Amino acid sequence: MHTLNPYTLNISKAFQEDELLKGLHLVVLHASRIPPHIGLIAGKSYHSLTIKGHETDHSIEALLKNIRMRKIPSLFIKIKPHPTFSEDFLKEHFIQDVQQFPKVSVGGATCLSPVKLFFEKTYGVPVDDVNYLFELLPVLEQNNMIEQASALNIKEGAFDLPVYDLKQIHSEIRLAEQEAKHIKQSTLKQQA
């Protein structure tokens, strides 16, 4: 299913913070970077898998403050309501999916891993051929699951998600791990 063309997402709605307080939203941070970071807003809080591990139950306010302060290009893709499950059930389910993986690592999980697991288990979306965000979004669209998209630090209209491969993901994970290690060492030196 790997395509050389970027997926074009239509940013159809002006960003409204209160929209994030209801429903399920796929969040794409650093949307124009290779690779972007993917998480989910469910049950009025943000959840994702990072190089540091599980990031669950983070406040939407803190997420938005960070996005605004650092001017991070971010997408918020609202997923149509589940026909059966409540928002609270979906939140708990996604947190369990995040906890299936220790952290993002080279040769291990990526931030997409729990997202794929979630859509496969709760919505029955076929994700066997999905390895990247630009492959997941067309599958969600084909399954009529995308309600709308809004953005911060990105203009409304058509937005092309970047195309990348596993080698680029691993390279970025290594860089992030080195940066985190350097920050930790600097903090320890300051405390000594």
- Domain boundaries along the sequence of the chain: 8-191
Max distance between CA atoms of the chain, in angstroms, equals 55
Give pLDDT tens digits for 37-92: 999 999 999 999 999 999 999 999 999 999 999 999 999 999 999 999 999 999 99
| SS3 state of residue 101 | coil
- The amino acid sitting at 152 is L
Mean pLDDT of the chain: 92
- Give me the mean pLDDT over the 174-181 stretch: 86
Q: What pLDDT does residue 69 have?
A: 97
Q: Which residue has the higher pLDDT, 114 or 187?
A: 114
Q: Which residues contact 13 (CB under 8 A, 6 or more apart)?
A: 19, 148, 149, 150, 156
Q: What pLDDT does residue 53 have?
A: 94
Give pLDDT tens digits for 112-163: 999 999 999 999 999 999 999 999 999 999 999 999 999 999 988 999 998 9
Global confidence as pTM = 0.91
